[in-house]
Each structure stands twice: as structure tokens, then as C-alpha cells.
Amino acid sequence: MARKLLLTHIDIPGINTFEVYRQKGGYRAVEKALKTLTPDDVLEEVKKSGLRGRGGAGFPTGMKWSFLAKPEGIPRYLVCNGDESEPGTFKDRYLMTHIPHALIEGMIVSSYALGANTSYIYVRGEMMPQIRILEKAIAEAKHAGFLGKNILGSGFDLELFVQPGGGAYICGEETALLESLEGKRGNPRIKPPFPAVSGLYNCPTVVNNVESIAAVVPIINDGGEEYAKIGVERSTGTKLISAGGNVKNPGVYEIELGLSVEEFLYSDEYCGGIANGKRLKAVVAGGSSVPILPANLILKTLKGESRLMTYESLADGGFQSGTMLGSGGFIAFDEDQCIVRNTWNFTRFYHHESCGQCSPCREGTGWMEKVLHKIEHGHGSFSDIDLLVNVAKNIEGNTICPLGDAAAWPVASAIRHFRDEFEWHVTNGAEARQRNYGLANYADPLEPVV
């Protein structure tokens, strides 16, 4: 049985309340940090843990914290990014719903390390029930003396607030999130300056994902070195993976990084294989933005090595034959799914969610959506496929924020790996409106051909 650090007590009734969470050892990390560690000690533990940002970018959390500017007399802020909206990802919703105090506890310890006396948890507005859950948890923690003035007699003050978003994927980008928190449209800022120097209200700010903040709790309880013992190479600790699409057992799983993709996908402890006895066609391993891979390449690298659930192994082969761990939004496609239709759907998403600041993204996502719609509906031409590649290339790297890249990669990778399916839509337009292309030669190498 794999070790769990975040979801250890998830099945215990009432773990969403302060009382039960505390009985199960909750808020020990706050006691340990505030009574026995300096803020810099906490930072050191997080650095030693090797924790990497769980929102998608995978940037080392300790390093991000160490960049925070600390000028005298200017407040510093910690903002938690709970804007979870990357298609395929629903782990933060799960964590906030079932074990909200893990996030509150992580916020207290992290705010202490960073010297923040006011911190915000920005949650997407559609998660109104989760916002209510967090507000209740904050009230309970405050009542118990873990928030407010002079927490546990340490002299450390912290006020914690939940901020609702308004329904915009772009606000998951940290500078757009800060704009939104300031009451503006979610337009990403030009960097530099980075939030660590000039973030919320032009003050030094750290923005961390929900899961990253919650992971600080076991890191402080057990020590950074213990945390780093789990995992492989630079992928340390555990990770929440959201499994969706056509798997038998969709849901949120806490895995030890280093688990093989094959085990995650097929063992009954996790996804349990593909639903309805179908065969696997493709996987998007880390949320809609990362390159899609056909079944053979997600299970094994091009070199024939078993693919692991780590930042490094999923990226093996670069974008030619690899992908990314991203946010851990694992979407499986069975043999009946149409890659062209899904690519069109994802591109419609990015077009809808583009903030409109940068022309390549604003216009490019719109053109890609139109061209993909045309191909999917059987009216495309071969030159349209090349046009898509061209537009994607011209968006990538040419925008203020990574939404442009995130829109370009799914299109580029779908054509890279499934070009014959796009071409089939062009040459067999009428048929493409009636039926799907099927598996072609991407068959899951682990399942016998029926």
C-alpha cells in the first residue's frame, strides 16, 4: 500500500471539522513551526523536501519562497491559488471539500515562513460550496486560537480570507489571479517584475497552489528529508492525480511519485483499467494543456522504458514523444473517442478563456477553433492541417502568459501523433460525420487484440 501524506485520514467521518482533524494530529505542524522553528527553518525544510509546485509548472516551492523580497516596513502576502480550472484536474476541489483544515494549516505554517500577516485563498467562484467550507474551517481554527493575534503566544499574527473568482480560467495564472484579487479583469501582467518583488498591491507576494500549501504540513511534521525520501530523482513526495475520461474508477488518487503509468492506469488500487471493456487509445497526462500521447507512448518511452508518474519520466523524449506531469489531470481516451473532436473541444476552451490581451492568442485560438471545427465536420482540406501547425507555432512563445502555449501544445501534439486521423477526416468527410476513426495503430500494447 502506497504511503499517503495528504489524504491519510480522508475516510474518517468528520475529518472536515476542526475537532476530528485535531484529534487525528492536525495543527501539530503549526505548533512545531511557531514554537520550535524560525521562519527560515521552515523555509529550509521546504527546500530540503524538494517539493515542486503542484499547480502545473513544477517550479521548486522552496526556491520560489526564497525569492520573496523582504524590504522593511512593507507587508508581504501569501496567496493560495485555488482557481482550479485546467480541464482534467479536480484534486484541489477534492482536498478543499473533504479535508479543508489541511489547507488552513498549510496556510498558517507557510504564512509564518514568509512573514505574511494577511493571506488570501483565491477560489474559483463556481466552487461556492467549497468557499463556504473553507470559511467555516477558518472560523473554527480562529476560535481555537490558530488564527488571529499572537497565535499560540508566538507573537505571530495572521488573518486568513477566502476570495471568490468570477469564472475565468486565466485567473489560474498567478499574475492574472492577483489582478482579479485586486478587483480587476484577469489580464496577466508582464513579468518582470515578478510577484516575489511586486505582487498583490505592489507588495512582495508568493502565489502557491492548494496542494503545494497542504504538502507543507507533512513536510514540517516529518521533516523535509523524510519527504524527499519518497519519489524518484527530482520528483519527490506524493502527488494528487485526478483520473477522468474513460477509466473504470475515476477519482482523485494520492500516489507516490515514481509509480508506473501502467500500474496507475490498470491496477484496481487506482484507475482499474479502461471502462466498459474498451481499449486505450490515448492519454492526456497532466491537464488539457500538456501534449496528448497515444497509448503506446504513454505506457513506454520511445526507448522502450516503462513510463513513470514523475516530472522527468513523463517529459522523456521532449515534445516529440513525451509530455508533462502538469497539474496531474489524467484523462484517458478509449477506442471510441475522436481525437479531432476532442482537439476542437479543447481549442474552443482556450479560445473562450483567452483574455484577449495578446493578438497571437486572441486571434490564433479563434482561427484554430474554426479550422478544427471545419475538419471535424468533414469540410477540411490537407492544407488546413498544415495551417493548424503553423498557427500553433506562431502562438507558442509569443504571448505574455503561458495560456498561448497551453492552447498551442494540444493542437500540435494531436497532429504530431494522430495525423492520419486528421487526414482521414479530410479524405472521408461524409464518413467522418457518421463514425469515428477508431484505434488505428495506437493500440494499447498491454491489452490483447480482441
Partner 1 sequence: MLSVKHNESVTFTEDMLGKFAEIVRRYPEGRQKSALLPLLHEVQAEFGWLSVSAMDKVAEYLHLDPIEVYEVATFYTMFFLQPKGRFNLEVCRTGPCCLVGAERIMTHLEEKLGVKEGEVTADGLFSWRGVECLAACGYGPVLQIGPEYTFYENLTAEGVDELINELRKKAEGAKLDADS
Question: How many other C-beta atoms are found inside a 10 Å radius of the C-beta of residue 438?
Answer: 15
Q: Which residues pair with 235 in a beta bridge?
A: 232
Least gap, CB of 412 to partner 1 (angstroms): 16
Least gap, CB of 81 to partner 1 (angstroms): 13
Least gap, CB of 277 to partner 1 (angstroms): 16
How far is Cα 296 from Cα 280, in angstroms, rounded to an integer?
9
Least gap, CB of 49 to partner 1 (angstroms): 26
Closer CB to partner 1, 316 or 353, in the complex: 353
Contact by Cβ (8 Å): 368, 347 = yes
How far is Cα 262 from Cα 313, in angstroms, rounded to an integer?
13
Residue with grid cell 470559511, as numbered in its chain: 135
Q: Edge-to-edge strand order for the sheet containing 159-164?
A: 159-164, 116-123, 76-82, 205-209
**Torsion over CA: 420, 317, 369, 331 (sign):** positive
Least gap, CB of 46 to partner 1 (angstroms): 26
Contact by Cβ (8 Å): 406, 360 = no
C-alpha cell at 348: 474552443
Closer CB to partner 1, 52 or 124, in the complex: 124
How far is Cα 285 from Cα 298, in angstroms, rounded to an integer?
8
Closer CB to partner 1, 177 or 219, in the complex: 177
Least gap, CB of 131 to partner 1 (angstroms): 9
Give me the residues that bind partner 1 (CB under 8 A), please.
75, 84-90, 92-93, 118, 124-129, 159, 161, 163-169, 180-186, 201, 242-246, 250-252, 284, 288, 329, 331, 333-334, 337, 341-342, 345-346, 349, 352-353, 355
Least gap, CB of 220 to partner 1 (angstroms): 27
Contact by Cβ (8 Å): 261, 299 = yes
Least gap, CB of 402 to partner 1 (angstroms): 17
Least gap, CB of 305 to partner 1 (angstroms): 28
Closer CB to partner 1, 60 or 378, in the complex: 378
Residue with grid cell 484529534, as numbered in its chain: 23
How far is Cα 143 from Cα 149, in angstroms, rounded to an integer?
12
Contact by Cβ (8 Å): 261, 307 = yes
Contact by Cβ (8 Å): 206, 77 = yes
Least gap, CB of 85 to partner 1 (angstroms): 6
Closer CB to partner 1, 61 or 342, in the complex: 342
Contact by Cβ (8 Å): 90, 244 = yes
> What does the longest C-alpha to C-alpha distance in the chain come to?
74
Closer CB to partner 1, 7 or 33, in the complex: 7
Nearest to 247 by CA among 268, 233, 226: 268
Closer CB to partner 1, 26 or 53, in the complex: 53
Q: Cα-Cα-Cα-Cα dihedral of 358, 360, 361, 366, to 10°?
A: 130
C-alpha cell at 375: 475538419
Closer CB to partner 1, 183 or 304, in the complex: 183
Closer CB to partner 1, 33 or 411, in the complex: 411
How far is Cα 230 from Cα 237, in angstroms, rounded to an integer?
5
Q: Which residues pair with 300 in a beta bridge?
A: 306
Q: Which residues pair with 164 in a beta bridge?
A: 123
Closer CB to partner 1, 201 or 382, in the complex: 201
